[in-house]
Amino acid sequence: MIRMSERVLVTGAGGFVGHHLVSFLKQKGYWVRGVDVKRPEFATTEADEFLLLDLRRWENCLTATREIDEVYALAADMGGMGFISSHHAQILHNNILISTHTLEAARENGASRYFFSSSACIYPEYRQTETDVAPLKEEDAYPAEPQDAYGWEKLVTELLCGYYAQEGDLQTRVARFHNIYGPLGTWRGGREKAPAALCRKVAVAKLTGDHEIEIWGDGQQTRSFCYVDDCVEGIYRLMRSDHGEPLNLGQDRMVTIDGLADIVADAAGIEIVKRHVPGPQGVRGRNSDNTRLAEVLGWTPGISLEDGLARTYAWIEDEVGRAMEEERVEASALATG
Ligand code: NAD
């Protein structure tokens, strides 16, 4: 169905989930404006218009939200555990500015609906101290004690969304993502998350023949992981629903990080040797309780970890192979030049 009259904004459209969401919304027939400080790194955007804007700045948020009906706010300064456990001031400063300015600009420009991408990182550390934790329900968020500044900003912006909805005409929707992974996401450089990092390490192991890979911590820390196609489907279903409270969006199958590495190794078709090294691990265990997700959306994420990781691994192995080839060509040019 063509929905040319409906103009939507995706912020963070140069990033991983934002890029996939733009493609999804284009397929649904929306006119899409993408905004980010950078263009998508691995594929061309399908957005009708793509603006390079720094959303920490108020005037840029006004430009981004002009003549827009619905906003999908995904822009954030973020990364995997290595990044978010060591850049608290930068993350809190940047994300507060991005979130508060984007929300207020959307209201001022008369948008009708607003989606905010929150995170499982808002849940209190004291509920996540064991590997075999109880899945987190939405109401477990309080009394609040997120582990990192990243989670505190998400929690405050969740509240802000609720207040805007109560006190004005802007309807807000909030999803708490639980570890989203898939192709076309950052896989090196320090901001990559565990699934991409493990795919990269296993691909290097396969392509070099050295099958030992490093794992941060003892490998027994647990998480659940959700494939990006399920994530964008869930975002869209939530946006179309009448549910104004924060909602978990993730899978509820909990695995250890060692278990995750084994699934990636299976996808690669190799045996790996794990070497456990000190490194940031985040909370000890985390899983999503999807009871409310199923009730509200009549749907839960369905793509299996094996299937999703096989697709992700195949893409990252290609990327790693290309990068290794480029390094080899550069090294031989230096040697001969
Ligand atoms: P990402 O880093 O790939 O995308 C975020 C994008 O925001 C990046 O492209 C970045 O350039 C952009 N951005 C940063 N600062 C900006 C600024 N000042 N102005 C404009 N754009 C700016 O991350 P992602 O994985 O696609 O995550 C999307 C959203 O979902 C984020 O809000 C993130 O916090 C949230 N989230 C993601 C996960 C996950 O597992 N991927 C989990 C929980 C929450």
Looking at ligand 1, which residue's alpha carbon is closest to its atom 4? 15
Residue with tokens 């489907």: 233
Ligand 1: distance of its center to the CA of 139 in Å? 25
The predicted pLDDT at position 38 comes to: 98
What structural domains and CATH numbers belong to the chain? 7-181+226-249 (3.40.50.720)
Ligand 1: distance of its center to the CA of 272 in Å? 31
In the predicted model, residues of the chain with pLDDT beneath 50 are 1-2, 4
The predicted pLDDT at position 3 comes to: 53
Listed in sequence order, the DSSP H helices in 46-191 are 58-65, 81-84, 88-108, 149-167
The predicted pLDDT at position 5 comes to: 56
Question: pTM higher than 0.95 for the full model?
Answer: yes
**Ligand 1 neighbours (beta carbon < 6 A):** 12, 14-18, 36-38, 54-56, 74-78, 94, 98, 117, 119, 177, 179-180, 193
181 is catalytic: no
Upstream peptide bond of 143 is cis (omega within 30 degrees of 0): yes
Reduce the DSSP state of residue 289 to 3 states and report it: coil
Listed in sequence order, the DSSP H helices in 126-227 are 149-167, 194-208
* Token reading at 239: 């946006």
Residues 6 or more apart whose Cβ sits within 8 Å of residue 112: 69, 70, 169, 170, 171
The predicted pLDDT at position 337 comes to: 72
61 closest CA partner among 14, 117, 6, 103: 103
> Can you say whether the dihedral through the CA atoms of 69, 173, 283, 252 is positive or negative?
negative
85 closest CA partner among 280, 222, 221, 284: 280
- Please pick, among 72, 114, 123, 150, the residue that the annotation labels catalytic: 150
How far, in Å, CA of 187 to CA of 109, rounded?
36
Q: Are strands 222-224 and 254-256 parallel, antiparallel or unpaired?
A: antiparallel
33 closest CA partner among 48, 14, 23, 19: 48
Ligand 1: distance of its center to the CA of 117 in Å? 9
Residue to probe by mutation, ligand 1, list 11, 16, 61, 312, most atoms within 8 Å of CB: 16
Query: pLDDT tens digit string along 69-89?
Result: 999 999 999 988 889 999 999
Residue to probe by mutation, ligand 1, list 17, 52, 150, 158, most atoms within 8 Å of CB: 17
How far, in Å, CA of 241 to CA of 84, rounded?
31
Q: Which atom of ligand 1 is nearest to the CA of 193?
A: 40
The predicted pLDDT at position 61 comes to: 98
* Token reading at 281: 């691990």
What is the H or E stretch that residue 70 is in?
strand 70-73
